[in-house]
Amino acid sequence: MTQPTTPTRQDTLRQIQDTQTWDVLVIGGGASGLGTAVEAASRGYRTLLLEAHDYAKGTSSRSTKLVHGGVRYLAQGNVSLVREALHERGLLKQNAPHLVRDLGFLIAAYTWWSAPFYGIGLKMYDLLAGKLNLQNSRYINKQEALKRTPTLRKQGLKGGILYFDGQFDDSRLAITLMRTLQDHGGVTLNHAPVTALHKNAAGKVDGATFRDSETGQEHRVSARVVVNATGVFVDAVRRMDDASAKDMLSPSQGVHVVVDRKFLPGDSAIMVPRTDDGRVLFAVPWHDHVVIGTTDTPVPEASLEPRPLPEEVEFILKTAAQYMDPAPTRADVRSVYVGLRPLVKAAEGTDTKALSRDHVIRISDSGLITLTGGKWTTYRRMGEDTVNRAARQAGLPERLTVTPALHLHGWTTDTLDQHWRVYGTDAARIRELEGAGTPLHPDLPYTEAEVRWAARFEQARTVEDILSRRLRALLLNARASSESAPRVAEILAEELGQDAAWQAKQVSEYTTLAQQYQL
């Protein structure tokens, strides 16, 4: 099988400079930015996406790994948001079957009334999904509940409700969207922060300056419309447009802990519908580990590497202990990660749990389009809505969306084993590369060939890009990822033509980062 070719960073920079005016410039390479860029490019608009760090570096790689309608939004009465998310869940499963799978969630019943109470709500969930429903929810008895989740606390268990949602790998979806964008003629560059916006004589935004983080060189680009899709950092870009712009967001953070699969060895996830602070908590099998979360803690400002508070970790482990036996302790935590939610500001005193998870589009007087809010499940719909507005504003030729049925890069319905399925049709090509049979670390499922693939075809530029987002080593086992960093740096230096000093710096930076993911 011949290996495909992909543009080098130098090729991409040259193409950016050679293009006089882009139809759509998207700032931000997370769920909303990639969704918008794929939407624009697939309609045939000349599209450029610039990402300051790496694709899904922020919140978009730190989700609970669910493609879902949001059971608790149903409890809040937000039926339209749930219906839209369930519809998008169904489309995403059809468009990326290599990245999304059905997963059963058990709500355990320890009181006589809880099964019928939650059962009625979940029947509504099934109905709202319509013909795109995954599988119908149903009551299961104590024996089946324990068969599906053997570590569920047995004392007082009466049975439960089993319902179905989707599961995915968030940063692998981001990389898949980046490749899909390229497949449709879009151009995309990471490690390229936008440093200024430009305006024409009429005061309308018509382009930006970005810096190549690797060389320090600045480049100017022109565009008919600019979209600010930088997640929790949208306010910083809005202030490049208008220094007096007031904050749109009230960010909150969600913490997750990752433990070994032995704590949830069955084939289902556990969903706790109401924790002591009124949230839901999930324990979800993922890449042969278990993700448990999440919390909802308001934070004063957005940061690139948010840190978990000790009480958040304590809350997750304490809640898990009420439902799991044996329950994980601090000593069992392989990694802890934190994502920030871009919640749109509400009235003073509103609890962040109550803020809408729906997306918001705002257009400034100068024409800068800001997209924020929302969640991974509805990334496609966010992109569609944004490009509809952008095309009207820029006077682009009207073209209908094609993304509801757009197969994403690597699309396949072949059932590959869990480790390789995230690559879809690319898996066979990766297995041909040097190092396909050489594991990176005995406690991780990854091979040296995947590092080479990430460098050649997925724009990985740093050890962190690889171990955190192309591979999920940082989230699965922070210590093991740290131990594999020197070999990753060596392979990456070989692929990118870097020297020993670069390798040493990469390993040092990554080791420092990985320590933040360990308790």
* DSSP assignment string, 155-194: TT--EEEEEEEEE--HHHHHHHHHHHHHHTT-EEESS--E
Q: Determine the average pLDDT of the residues in 46-53.
A: 98
In this prediction, residue 341 carries a pLDDT of 92
Q: Which residues contact 509 (CB under 8 A, 6 or more apart)?
A: 462, 463, 464
pLDDT at 347 over 70: no
Q: How far does CA 146 lie from the centroid of its chain?
A: 31
* β 281-286/335-341 pair status: unpaired
Task: Return the percent helix, strand and coil in the chain, to nearest 5.
Answer: 40, 20, 40
- Minimal CA–CA distance to 29: which of 173, 168, 167? 173
Give pLDDT tens digits for 470-498. 999 999 999 999 999 999 999 999 999 99
- Burial class of residue 131 in the structure, from the number of CB atoms within 10 Å of its CB (0-12 exposed, 13-18 middle, 19+ buried): exposed
**Residues linked to residue 285 through DSSP beta bridges, in sequence order:** 290
Which amino acid, one-letter code, is at 307?
Answer: R
Contacts of 416 (CB under 8 A, 6+ apart): 98, 423, 424, 427
What mean pLDDT do residues 50-72 have? Answer: 94
CATH architecture label of 9-59+171-248+354-405: 3-Layer(bba) Sandwich (3.50)
Q: Does pLDDT of 354 surpass 60? A: no
Percentage of residues of the chain with pLDDT beyond 70: 97
Backbone φ/ψ region at 393: left (φ over 0), alpha (ψ -120 to 50), beta:
alpha
**pLDDT tens digit sequence for 205-254:** 999 999 999 999 999 999 999 999 999 999 999 999 999 999 999 899 99
Residue 346 is predicted with a pLDDT of 64
**Residue 350 scores a pLDDT above 90:** no
- The answer to whether 71 touches 161, Cβ cutoff 8 Å, is no
Nearest Cα to 340, choosing from 372, 381, 382, 316?
372
Could you tell me the fold of the domain covering 99-164+250-344?
Answer: D-Amino Acid Oxidase; Chain A, domain 2 (3.30.9)
pLDDT for the residue numbered 276 = 80
- Angstrom CA distances, 312 to 15, 106, 230, 251, 352, stand at 46, 23, 26, 16, 15
The pLDDT value given to residue 155:
95
> Distance between CA 127 and CA 136 in Å, rounded?
9
**Average pLDDT rounded to a whole number, residues 270-298:** 92
The secondary structure of residue 13, as a DSSP letter, is H
Kindly report the average pLDDT of the chain as a whole number. 94
Domain ranges of the chain: 9-59+171-248+354-405, 99-164+250-344, 433-515
| DSSP 8-state symbol, 341 | E
Query: Left (φ > 0), alpha (ψ -120 to 50) or beta: where does 313 sit?
Result: alpha
Report whether pLDDT(349) > 60.
no
Q: Over range 293-313, report the average pLDDT.
A: 94
pTM across the whole model: 0.96
Both tokens of residue 337?
Answer: 């990660």
d(CA 331, CA 328): 8
Compare 72 and 397 and report the one with higher pLDDT: 397
Residue among 472, 463, 469 nearest 511 (CA): 463
Three-state secondary-structure class, residue 113 = coil
The Cα 462–Cα 505 span in angstroms is 10
- Please state the φ and ψ torsions of residue 459, each to the nearest 5 degrees: 60, 25
Of 139-148, 340-349, 368-377, the poorest mean pLDDT is in 340-349
Tally of residues, the chain? 519
**In the prediction, which pLDDT does 4 show?**
59
Query: Per-residue pLDDT averaged across 342-353, rounded?
Result: 61
Residue 3 pLDDT more than 80? Answer: no
Instruction: Please state, in angstroms and rounded to a whole number, the distance separating the CA atoms of residues 220 and 211.
Output: 9
Instruction: Judge whether residue 353 has pLDDT over 60.
Output: no
pLDDT single digits (tens) 412-459: 999 888 789 999 999 999 999 999 999 999 999 999 999 999 999 999
* Phi, psi for 155 (deg, rounded to 5): -60, 120
d(CA 243, CA 496): 39
**Residue 13: how many CA atoms within 13 Å on its side-chain side?**
16
Question: What integer pLDDT is reported at residue 418 of this predicted model?
Answer: 75
- 351: pLDDT strictly greater than 60: no
